[in-house]
Amino acid sequence: MVKAEKRFSSLDVCAGAGGLALGLEQAGFDPVLLIDNRDVACETLRANRPRWHVLEMDLLDFVPEDYPQVYDVDLLSAGLPRVQASATATRARGNEAELELLKATIMLVPGVQPRALLVENVPDLAVKPGYEFIRDYVAEELGHLGYRHRWFVVNAADHGVPQSREQGILVAFKGDALDLFEVPASSLEQFVTVGEALVESMTARGWQQAGEWAKQADKLAPTLVGGSWTRGGPDLGLTGSKRAWAKMGVDGGTVADDVPGPDFDWNPELGRAGMVKLTVDQAAALQGFPPEWQFAGRKTARYRQIGHASPPPVGRALGQSIRAALARSGA
């Protein structure tokens, strides 16, 4: 009889739509608790994984002692809200809330005592001099608690996501398990392009130019961003991203309700009117979500969750590396 592979336990904070948790689940981690402060994200988590214990709460209000199941989990994971990508003013007001959540995650460590810690955010946080003050804070706090840590950057494109999306990663381990951790490397011979990822969905309503469009969309998508929860509608990013989308014949200024029908005339020379628009489901595919993963809420709320999510394939790759280190350490 084949012995069942051991599963590991996790606590996932700032869980959002579950991209990181889903990837970690695929890597062998089962969450004992997931925390997010946004009701629509919690609804998404519960709809897709009814067995998961989802807590709608601000991370700053969470007290580990009230939830004994989180003590001594194998992994504490956090896909935190993005700090500003520019470090021109490291202590700018726009970063205060996000950095407080990072500090709050680190301060959970003594109460939870996880064997490992995983935090995902923007790449600048891991490498830019402007964020050295927060890296120094992390080093001091984790060092006092007996954890060794490492910062590095991964690109989702290296793990099969059809998008150029760099992510800053913090991993830490209790004791010496960090010596056994290996940053997940790409096993791809070539990147998956936007056209390859979306051509089949583009034909769903009989659009005849899908193949022609896919040949032009033979590139990685620029980084999808969720945008502000308090203003504006869904679009595919800032001006630079929209220009990149336009080169692929895509209108990046909006998100469509459905894929093109049989009568749509794709002619980018006509400007936005002649460009194809992506749907929320297609945006989810560009983030590496499986088609069965459903997002709660109306179109804008669904897109916000997707754009803010961590791509599940990256979570899976990181989870596999963390799991291997934990298994080898035997701690």
| pLDDT at site 3 | 55
Query: CA–CA separation, 214 vs 196, rounded Å?
Result: 7
Query: CA–CA separation, 96 vs 89, rounded Å?
Result: 11
Q: What is the pTM of this model?
A: 0.94
**Which amino acid appears at position 114 of this protein?**
P
| pLDDT at site 41 | 98
Query: CA–CA separation, 19 vs 11, rounded Å?
Result: 14
Report whether 82 contacts 124 (CB < 8 A): no
Report whether 211 contacts 266 (CB < 8 A): no
| pLDDT at site 85 | 55
**Residues in a beta bridge with 9:** 30
Residue whose structure tokens are 């990072």: 102
Query: CA–CA separation, 173 vs 202, rounded Å?
Result: 44
| pLDDT at site 296 | 98
Tokens at residue 105, please? Answer: 């995650």
**Helix (H) / strand (E) containing 150:** strand 147-155
DSSP string, 46-115: HHH-TTS-EEE--GGG--GGG-GGGTT-SEEEEEPPPPPS--SSTT-HHHHHHHHHHHHHHHHHHHH--S
What is the pLDDT tens value at each position of the chain, 331 positions in all? 445 678 999 999 999 999 999 999 999 999 999 999 999 999 999 999 999 999 999 999 999 999 999 999 999 999 998 886 544 444 444 478 888 999 999 999 999 999 999 999 999 999 999 999 999 999 999 999 999 999 999 999 999 999 999 999 999 999 899 999 999 998 788 999 999 999 999 999 999 999 999 999 999 999 998 888 877 778 898 899 999 999 999 999 999 999 999 999 999 999 999 999 999 999 999 999 999 999 999 999 999 999 999 999 999 999 999 999 999 987 5
| pLDDT at site 84 | 67
Report whether 119 contacts 170 (CB < 8 A): yes
The span from the first CA to the last CA of the chain, in angstroms, equals 27
Tokens at residue 237, please? Answer: 């990013």
Which residues are within 8 A (CB) of 229 and not within 5 positions of it... i.e. 6 or more apart?
38, 304
Distance of CA 193 to the CA centre of its chain: 19
| pLDDT at site 262 | 96
Query: CA–CA separation, 307 vs 310, rounded Å?
Result: 8
Query: CA–CA separation, 164 vs 244, rounded Å?
Result: 12
Q: Delimit the domains of the chain by residue range.
A: 8-188+310-329, 194-306
Tell me which CATH code domain 8-188+310-329 carries. 3.40.50.150
Strand 75-79, strand 8-13: pairing: parallel
